[in-house]
Amino acid sequence: MRTMAGVWFSVIVLVSMQKVFGDVCQPDKKIEDFTCDECIRCGADWCNKPEPEESHCSLAITDGWCNNDREYPVEKEEKDRFDTNPFYAERMLMIGQPSKIDIRYTATSKNKPDILIVNTTQTFNIELKQYGHKCSGANCLVTIEAKALSEFCSASGGVTESVEVKISMEAKEEAHIKYYVACACACSLIVETDSPVCNKNGNLSCGVCSCKPGWRGKNCELPESPKVPECDGSRGDINQCSLSSKTDEDCSFNGYCGPCETCICYTDREGSQYFDQTNNCAGLCSVAAEFEDCLVNNTIGKCSMDNRQMTIQRYNETLTAERDNKNRKVWVKCNETIDSCGLLEFYAKRDENDMIFVMMLNHCNEISAAAVVADTKVPIILGVLGIVAAVAAVSGVMLWKHMNTVPPVPLNDPQYQNIDAEDCTGENPLYKPPTSSFKNPTYGKW
């Protein structure tokens, strides 16, 4: 019976450090414009913090290159199992860098082994070679070389991809080697949003700024120049604005007048994704306010006006925090004055089908009711002052009565005890005694 020790693997020897840069790796793109993932997939090296005169991606490594922060592939532990059948090993494989393994085995013939790719998470663009095959009696030696080509990784390749190779020596003798290939940078998974390095106008990853719309430059320090339409006069449009007035009012205060006297909308303001270039940069709030009947009546559901539709839904505070894939607020807060109602507050958004959605913060009937109640309310401070004034008035009247009341006669005083009646009465000269009798002359005649 053949022992398992008949086949064993030697230590990997990386013979060559030569970089192979295939033409298929973004042939129309300069290497200094590569992302970290593109750089690694094409067999180059990446530096997160290069010197000012150096680029992040480099094919030719020189002494002293990237002393600060070099990006390395995720390391995988190398494994060898000699006591199992099939024999198994795991190795790291860099794009464009050959990896060699010596295989010793016993065989009854001097035929070369067969090599076959049995599984891959990317493509089959890997180069496999065997050379140095020789046998001394039943003991044989062969060197297997594997090299992942620049076409091996796809655009969606991850940090660690793999390819598995089977090497068949004889009917019952085989070996399996699993190669791990880096097709992306680990730093690509770490993104610092609104990074100070990018002047908070972009996100930082692998030492490179990815600028938000409207910004450019190495550190997103420069505003993008808006695209200016050509003034060929072929469209025959009516001028939206006037260059002579130099006012933003013609462009709804959401843009400025371009050289062709057409409005160029701002892109860095809240709700700017809804500014209508063809309608004087009209904002979503003013467009929604045109549905006056819908807003005033607060009809939940779809509401139509002039062959246009708007949907009013119940207010949901959670929805107001929604953001799109460019980190812009989806819902815009609006304050619009309606002649028949007053100031209305609501949130609005427009979806990809050009449908407008509205969530009301207050309603017209609430504003009217508040106005009526406000007419009959008495401020608290005036009520308190009225009570104080009433109490003061009552107290004043009582004090006045007390001060002006005639004092009672002191009857116990001696000067009031010997008063005669004559001192208290007098004779009335007009007094006549009452009639004592009266005779009716008509009495007895009836």
Output 432 or 208, whichever has higher pLDDT.
208
Chain length of the chain: 446
Domain for residue 402, yes or no? no
Mean pLDDT of 257-284: 88
Tokens of 256: 């400025």
- Give the pLDDT confidence of 303-351 residue by residue, as tens digits: 888 888 899 999 999 999 999 888 899 999 998 887 777 888 999 999 9
Q: What pLDDT was estimated at residue 65?
A: 80
Please report which helix (H) or strand (E) contains residue 387, including its range. Answer: helix 380-404
And the tokens for 278?
Answer: 């063809």
Residue 427 predicted with pLDDT over 60: yes
- In this prediction, residue 241 has a pLDDT band, given cuts at 50, 70 and 90, of confident
Q: Are residues 150 and 213 in the same domain?
A: no
Do residues 117 and 253 both lie within one domain? no
pLDDT at 367 over 90: no
Instruction: Give the range among 29-43, 267-281, 401-415 with minimum mean pLDDT.
Output: 401-415
Q: Which of residues 338, 373, 408 is at a domain's end?
A: 373
Considering only residues 292 and 26, tell me which one the structure prediction assigns the higher pLDDT: 292
**97-106, 175-184, 245-254, 259-268: which has the minimum mean pLDDT?**
245-254
Lowest mean pLDDT among 117-131, 212-226, 396-410: 396-410
**Mean pLDDT of the chain, nearest integer:** 77
Q: What's the pLDDT score for residue 417?
A: 54
The per-residue pLDDT for 36 is 92
Q: Name the least confident of 168-172, 203-207, 248-252, 330-334.
A: 168-172
Residue 399 lies in a domain: no
Distance CA 275, CA 113 (A): 68
Ranking 2-6, 134-138, 228-232 by mean pLDDT, the lowest is 2-6
Evaluate whether 25 touches 183 at the Cβ level (below 8 Å). no
Of the two residues 279 and 423, the one the predictor is more confident about is 279
Is residue 303 situated within a structural domain? yes
**Domain-embedded: residue 53:** yes
The verdict on residue 77 lying in a domain is yes
CATH code, domain carrying 210: 2.10.25.10
- Asked if 220 and 181 sit in the same domain, the reply is no
Q: Is the pLDDT of residue 426 over 70?
A: no
β-strand partners of 336: 344
Q: Cis omega before residue 86 (within 30°)?
A: yes
Structure confidence by residue, pLDDT tens digits, 24-43: 466 677 888 889 999 888 88
User: 162-191: buried (b, 16+ CB within 10 Å) or exposed (e) per residue?
Assistant: ebbbbbebeeebbbbbbbbbbbbbbbbeee
Cα 67 from Cα 402, distance rounded (Å): 103
Q: Are residues 149 and 1 in the same domain?
A: yes
Q: Is the pLDDT of residue 227 over 70?
A: no
Domain range for 238: 229-281
Same domain for 18 and 51, yes or no, is yes
In the beta sheet, which residues pair with residue 91?
Answer: 179
Say whether 245 sits in a helix, a strand or coil: coil
Is the pLDDT score of 375 beyond 50?
no
Predicted pLDDT at 13: 33
Same domain, 255 and 322: no
User: Contact, 164 vs 147, CB < 8 A?
Assistant: no
What is the mean pLDDT of the segment spanning 278-302? Answer: 86
pLDDT-derived band at 235, boundaries 50, 70, 90: very low
Rg (CA), the chain: 50
- The DSSP call for residue 210 is E
Q: What gap in Å lies between CA 385 and CA 401, rounded to an integer? A: 25
Interval 223-249 mean pLDDT: 63
Q: Is the pLDDT of residue 54 over 90?
A: no
Q: Which of 81-95, 222-236, 418-432 is the most confident on average?
A: 81-95
**Predicted pLDDT of residue 11:** 35
- The sheet with strand 99-106 has its strands ordered as 8-9, 99-106, 139-148, 126-136
Side-chain-side CA neighbours of residue 148 (13 Å) = 28
Mean pLDDT of 149-162: 89
Helices (DSSP H) in 244-379: which residue ranges?
Answer: 284-289, 292-297, 364-376
> How much of the chain exceeds pLDDT 90, in percent?
25
290 and 257 share a domain? no
Return the sign of the alpha-carbon dihedral for residues 256, 262, 267, 271.
Answer: positive
Tokens standing for residue 102: 């010596």
pLDDT for the residue numbered 146: 92
Among 403, 228, 434, 213, smallest CA distance to 327 is for: 213
Element (H, E) at 393: helix 380-404
pLDDT for position 332: 94
Q: Summarize the confidence of residues 203-220 as an average pLDDT.
A: 92
Q: Which of 113-122, 215-224, 228-237 has the lowest mean pLDDT?
A: 228-237
**Count of domains for the chain:** 4
Element (H, E) at 263: strand 263-265
pLDDT for res 111: 84
Q: Are residues 220 and 240 in the same domain?
A: no
Residue range 107-151, pLDDT digits in tens: 888 888 889 999 999 999 999 999 888 888 888 888 889 999 988
Q: Is residue 394 part of a domain?
A: no
On the question of pLDDT at 167 being above 50, the answer is yes
CA-closest candidate to residue 107, choices 54, 51, 173: 173
Residue 195 sits in the same domain as residue 330: no
The candidate with the shortest Cα–Cα distance to 159, out of 99, 75, 70, 98, is 75
Looking at the structure, tell me whether residues 6 and 144 fall in a common domain: yes
Lookup: tokens for 82: 């000699």
- d(C-alpha 151, C-alpha 42), whole Å: 8
Q: What is residue 164's predicted lDDT score, i.e. its pLDDT?
A: 94
Residue 408 in domain: no
DSSP-derived 3-state class of residue 403 = helix
pLDDT for 370 equals: 41
297 and 148 share a domain?
A: no
> Could you give the 3-state DSSP secondary structure of residue 181?
strand
My answer on whether 305 and 355 are in the same domain is: yes
Within a domain: 411: no
